[in-house]
Structure 1
């Protein structure tokens, strides 16, 4: 079987992969294939379909800056609207025709002799590409907790990333493990229909009141006719999120009083919703806000005051065929187990596939032995013609689209220079990578992750070595500026 040849292989058909394809097509690249293991585009907004799913920042900010959507029905749009937006973008910018679904990439290896990437698929075939871009997202590998007996549970098991719409939850006795951002959205919805819901909490989450409102058709028409009006709203939401990031995360020691004020707001919200002092205490985090991603909800806390909802904070010892047994010996019988246990962030996602670069350097192994690092959050030395959009120090601000904005600019500058020189390879230098890593390490010292009280937060922002290397500790403005102006001699282009 002959190996298919492409100029560019992009792994992932979510917003990251689509953004990369759009930028490359703008530069004239058309021999592109976008591979995704799912059966449709949209990434996390295709995979996740659980009740209550919605974006957790204003929709005006959670969208491509070059493609505003005037049709959001709410300030915090639902998951189905985000999925629809992804389909709209794919069609408008002609990237759908480059996509192949139900295609799982297992590994990629740099062929030094051919100066190309050999990309191995699960069906045994291989694709060859001049350039490789991985856009597998930060939250792409679902985590199933390693709890004794969980595989022997006789009832229905539903992970939030594989929601079963055919399962009737009405009147069910449900056990739910996890109280992260997904649970904050899901618990109020389940509480409306189930007979009994027992929520097993390991770490409480900071939850602030949610200022959400519907956007009327008249306003939607205004946004469509006058895009500057929507740009103005985006300017406000971008500014608010940028301010929150700047004072609450990036410069924590200088604005600690504001972080305390934010925690006080969450406490007031909790007090108004829950009058039971003991229950409030169980739902109160012991770490500073910002150590892990906080959430917004007007009905999460109130859900625990319902007679059919019970919060369990004692650890789980095992799962029996008919229920869950806690470490103090108590057993709760259930017929449905919901896993809101998030994702294998570091162990399975960095990288999401095996990638072997120059001289046999294995990216996952190298990261774990030499610290997690990536120049400007996209490039790694000894990995020519390769960009990873879900890398250490990549995520910027509170919106994934902030990340995509500066990464697309980086791609435009880099590939534009490759074209200008009529070159075929690029590779970031060791010196540039080290300089960037040193800068990020220094900036982290004044973030909430290092200057705040994060012990006990169990935050996925921290890698297994305890370094907070997920987020880029700079403003969005800084990331965008460097994406457009980074020194071209930081790369060896030939």
Structure 2
């Protein structure tokens, strides 16, 4: 039996899913990508200094290790080249249709198929739908009074305006997250003045970066086990940190204490002004947000023409940004370094399942999915990088590869004449969700400000090791699923 599969999104998650599906002998796979090119976050984030905070040997597909990385922490252009080149050589791009935005998914119970609606009015039918839009695809821009009145260029870091000349300009950067700590040092030498608006200071420690010389490349090509050993070493080092965050390791406290000591020493050495140093101390405990790596963030903020403002942003005016203390911070260019709507999974698509159930209505108090992939009443709809699969450390590609393998196993059974409409059992999904939230309450994330307002739910993070997740998804437990076909 031939089954049709639609994958939404052509980044690492979507293209990795195509690889797993085609390796399982499933060839009727169509990838719908709303942009004009593949690449996901590495296509969109082209701001100065954009790079990965995961070592390159680990931040790559396991089936396509790359001995030619130029740096341990690759920069955006090189990662995008790797993604596109690897996908082309593996024949994955033949499945991709670009410039196609999915607007709605609706399940047809009579036919046991999903109707995938697109912005141009075309509808694709598929037995299996894989959403690989990720958690970092929709920029989050605060709804501030007067934002539309700003007189100069204003843009998000993921929508960088390369036509805007920053030389000699007064630049306001709102946000101090993972993108901001790269773009601020990337433009600090060009601007006349910079104001960085900080809601909460991040923990930043040195990045152990280095360039790979030709001798490294020759060694990696001649002795593949060397590259495998580096990949494995970084994996277990990041797993150790994941264990510390999850509170499941006897070294959790001493390891987090060590990381905190490194951060404190770095801050003290790189920022000599005690008042600025005070403003750069996080008000939350280590682990509440992703640990950031940079060798030039603190030195950039310590420059004479840079001002770090911790007063809340109240409104935007034509001439700049006004803070809650009433002060107007004049600016010629406004850059939003405010991250992404990471908790708005599958948005803005409308998703309707069995009995007309609205997925976003079911998720109104926070998204949840069994193994981060599937929801009761939504047969054969899978999320790659879905709820509770994000990591405090390590490479998300390993999580996405595990999910892709799981999806391929389910799809293969359907193609072999199995049940027509497989969905996770409600009691299984509920038990899994209770486990996740219980473990998260005991983790480093408990009580952090990324919990929902009711103080009970984290929707993004995975509480354990990558290795545990891979073990739990290595083979489908068919007893967890049920046939919901009429």
TM-score, normalisation: structure 1: 0.93
- Counterpart for residue 372 of structure 1: 367
- Counterpart mapping for 1:238-249 below 5 A: 238-249=235-246
Structure 2 matches for 1:349-364, cutoff 5 A? Answer: 349-364=345-360
1:447 to 439, 443, 449: 443
Provide the residue aligned with 2:113 in structure 1: 116
Matched-pair contact (CA < 8 Å) for 2:288–2:445: yes
Contact preservation (8 Å) 1:381, 1:428: yes
Please give the alpha-carbon distance, in whole angstroms, between the structure 1 residues aligned to 2:227 and 2:411: 31
Alignment match, 1:90: 87
- The aligned counterpart of 1:478 is 468
Q: Distance in 1 between matches of 2:279 and 2:467?
A: 39
Cα drift, residue 350 of structure 1: 4.7
Distance 1:224 1:77 in 2: 18
Task: State the partner residue of 1:251.
Answer: 248
Instruction: For structure 1, list consecutive stretches of 5 or more residues without a partner in the other structure.
Output: none
1:402 aligns with 2:398: yes
Say yes or no: does 1:34 pair with 2:31: yes
Instruction: For 1:3-402, list aligned pairs within 5 A.
Output: 7-251=4-248, 255-346=252-343, 348-369=344-365, 371-396=366-391, 398-402=394-398
Query: CA 1:355–1:250 in 2, change beyond 3 Å: closer, same or farther?
Result: farther
Aligned alpha-carbon RMSD (Å): 1.8
Report the CA distance shift for 1:194/1:342 in structure 2 as closer, same or farther (over 3 A).
Answer: same
Superposed displacement of residue 62, structure 1: 0.8
Contact 1:323 1:333 in 2 (8 A): yes
Judge conservation of contact 1:252–1:446 (CA < 8 Å) in 2: no
Q: Please state how far the C-alpha of 1:464 moved relative to its aligned partner.
A: 5.0
Cα deviation for residue 484 of structure 1 reads 1.4
Q: Which residue of 2 aligns with 1:414?
A: 410
2:479 match: 489
Q: Take 2:348 and 2:34, find their aligned partners in 1: how far apart are those partners? A: 12
The worse-fitting range, judged by mean Cα deviation, of 413-422 and 35-44 is 413-422
Q: Which residue of 1 aligns with 2:459?
A: 469
Superposed displacement of residue 414, structure 1: 2.2
Offset, 1:361: 0.9
Greater displacement, 481-490 / 188-197: 481-490
Looking at structure 2, the residues matched to 145 and 211 of structure 1 have their Cα atoms a distance apart, in angstroms, of: 33
Q: Deviations over 1:208-261 (max 9, x none)?
A: 011110011221122123222100000110011000110134438972233122
C-alpha displacement of 1:297: 0.7
- Segments of 5+ residues of structure 2 without an aligned counterpart are none
Does the CA contact (< 8 Å) of 1:413 and 1:484 recur in 2? no
Supply the distance in 2 between the matched residues of 1:135 and 1:273 (Cα, whole angstroms): 40
TM-score by length of 2: 0.95
Q: In structure 2, do the counterparts of structure 1 residues 293 and 34 end up closer, same or farther at CA, with 3 Å as the change threshold? A: same
